[in-house]
Amino acid sequence: MSMERFDALIIGAGVAGLNCALHLPEAMRVLVVCKGGLKESDSFLAQGGICVLRDRGDFQGYFEDTMRAGHYENNPFTVRCMIENSRRTIEELIALGVRFARDERGELRYTREGAHSRPRILFHADCTGKEITSHLLREAQRRSNLTLRPHTTMVDLLLAEEDEACLGAVLCENATGRVYAVRAGNTVLATGGVGGLFPHSTNYRILTGDGVGVCLEHEIAVDHADYVQFHPTSLYTAGHGRSFLISESVRGEGAHLLDREGHRFVDELLPRDVVTAAIYEQMRREGSDFVRLDLRTVEGGERTLKEHFPGIVEHCRKEGYDVFSAPIPVVPAQHYFMGGVRSSLSGRTTMPHLYAVGETCCNGVHGRNRLASNSLLEALIFARRAAEDIAAGSAARGEAAFDPAIYQIKQIERARRARVRKEIRRERK
């Protein structure tokens, strides 16, 4: 088997993989591979937006919204880290040329999605992910130290004898089936989520949890493999294939979910898992395959729909639905994976020299259910932190299991359980 050598190997070219590559020193030779085309990542599909801390006064609210949506199973240290780094991240994106919606005075505009106590989501029409990822990709293509290699599938990890460190990966060129090894000082898993394993998902079909799978095979810690998020509203179609998302920000701007009689049956801005459960229950009661979403109640009506959601309006039109004249059929679809390869605040896994970032990793930031529009932000921030950790050359030990933050979480969790036990005992008396 032939062997190539790089300083770092990044598997995945969504926002996490690209941002990690862009934050590695330009002196490092970096190979970025991805399974499909360079634009075939879920990051390109993200519609709603990207959260940001609006001002210092928003910290507690943003923190609480993220924790409440996650059923308080989040790692408070990663949540804090994400929120504190959010402004800087947005500024970096703007410096790269990313355009977010602005008002007449040129100030950033904020939209709202489910479970947010105030509008704090920046957006670019209904294609925020495409706007962000295409700028990162363009920048990555400009950098001479980065080699981008699409249509390349990871077959396995390359591990040192006794599995004490990751040395790179075994890759396969999709077109020819040629299998070869890449040896790298550090390897980063940024392979996205698991949606391709589900019949109805908003994810690209090629996203089949490859990073998680390879870690399970090599007994590298994976957490919460059952924490899968179903987005409440994808456009209903009878066939299989990728489901088209109807962004939660449509509901954030006033769209209503309706039963067969045209009545609302749930508060549309509750956390995703709650709204999804209510929709499934309504479908069960009606014996129907979908419920309806009325976009005509969006504040600002036709003008807002055309300005803020042109992609959704157009897609629905192509599918035969006129959002200006009638509700559209929607159904929940698999959307996001909150579990993943256990990783620290610096993206380290339990295997030395192996990192995991983005949807592939589980650093606990989302808890059991992700708050809307936290995914792009989380991926960007922790990918940058992984790059900084690699650059500092301090990844000689696999430390996720010994991360001080994770250690403290365990202590907090133990204390919480002790409190619950005490309460139960008190109630029994």
Gap between the Cα atoms of 217 and 196, Å rounded: 19
Q: Are 385 and 405 within 8 A, CB to CB?
A: no
Q: Which is nearer to ligand SIN, 21 or 46 (CB)?
A: 46
Q: Which is nearer to ligand SIN, 54 or 231 (CB)?
A: 231
Options 54, 120, 272, 292, the catalytic residue: 272
State in angstroms the smallest separation of the CB of 97 from ligand SIN.
Answer: 22
Closest CA to 150 of 241, 18, 2, 242: 18
Sheet of strand 340-342, all strands in order from the earlier edge strand to the far edge: 222-223, 340-342, 361-362
Closest CA to 51 of 203, 231, 248, 307: 248
Gap between the Cα atoms of 315 and 235, Å rounded: 10
State in angstroms the smallest separation of the CB of 376 from ligand SIN.
Answer: 8
State in angstroms the smallest separation of the CB of 277 from ligand SIN.
Answer: 17
Q: Which is nearer to ligand SIN, 75 or 249 (CB)?
A: 249
Q: Which is nearer to ligand SIN, 47 or 208 (CB)?
A: 47
DSSP letter (8 states) at residue 370: P
Q: Which is nearer to ligand SIN, 128 or 343 (CB)?
A: 128
Q: Is 272 designated active site?
A: yes
State in angstroms the smallest separation of the CB of 416 from ligand SIN.
Answer: 28
Task: Count CA within 13 A, CB hemisphere, residue 205.
Answer: 6
Closest CA to 47 of 281, 376, 317, 369: 376
60 exposed, middle or buried (CB, 10 Å; 0-12, 13-18, 19+)?
Answer: exposed
Which residue number is nearest to ligand SIN in terms of Cβ? 48
State in angstroms the smallest separation of the CB of 169 from ligand SIN.
Answer: 28
Closest CA to 230 of 284, 193, 256, 191: 193
Residues within the interface to ligand SIN (CB under 6 A): 46-48, 245, 247-249, 372-373, 375
- Residues annotated catalytic, as ranges: 272
